[in-house]
Each structure stands twice: as C-alpha cells, then as structure tokens.
Amino acid sequence: QVQLVESGGGLVQAGGSLRLSCAASSRTFSTYIMGWFRQAPGKERRFVAGIYQSGLTTHYADSVKGRFTISRDNAKNTVYLQMNSLKPEDTAVYYCAARSGVGIGFNRSEYDYWGQGTQVTVSS
C-alpha cells in the first residue's frame, strides 16, 4: 500500500510558477513509476507528466512541454512538478499517482495509487 500526499498548490497569476510536491509513505517508492494528472471541472482526469524509477526518463503531455518539469528524489520518497509560465487553462486539481506496471502509463486506469489532489488556480 502506498499513501501519497500532494502539496504546493495555490492561486497564481498567469505567467507565474508553482512547484507541487508529492510525498509517498512507501519504502518501495523507488520501484514505482510516478505520474502527475490533472482534472478541470467537468472534464476527465488527464495525464500531465510521468517519470521512470531512476528519474532519468520523463514524458509530458504536449500542452505542458517546455513549461513543466517532473523530477523525483528517491531518498526523500518525493516526486515534484515544477510548473512555469502558467496559463489560465492550467487551472485544475492536480493529482500524483504511482504505477507498478511497466512503462509510463498515460491513462488513469494504469495507476495503482492516488493522492487526494491539490488545487491549482491560474488567474488571467
């Protein structure tokens, strides 16, 4: 069982930055692929970024490439999402998730554990 707790969300103006953190309870954190998803009101939860166990390989949704950076610190059991040049359309609840399968999962159903989410609101 893995418990995930996100933090770092908030209200920011367009063009600003935020860094989200997701702390994991599991001692086997380093064995999981980690992902960030987001869900805007009335919309499906969508993949934002993913990172392999070593932290060396990452994947991003096209909408955030060049603006967001996912990273992890296995010694701290934490995954991060640095978000720069934020836009109003980035407004959503952001969730981190852990996957025990092979390969980055791009769909919600491919992840085994989820955090409770953190709200990010970008004002224009």
pLDDT digits over 69-94, tens only?
999 999 999 999 999 999 999 999 99
- Asked whether the beta carbons of 37 and 94 are under 8 A apart, the reply is yes
pLDDT, mean of residues 49-70: 97
Helix (H, G, I), strand (E, B) or coil at 115: coil
Dihedral of alpha carbons 83, 8, 61, 78, sign: positive
How confident is the model at residue 50, as a pLDDT?
A: 98
Average pLDDT of the chain is: 97
User: Residue 108, SS3?
Assistant: helix
- 100 has pLDDT over 90: yes
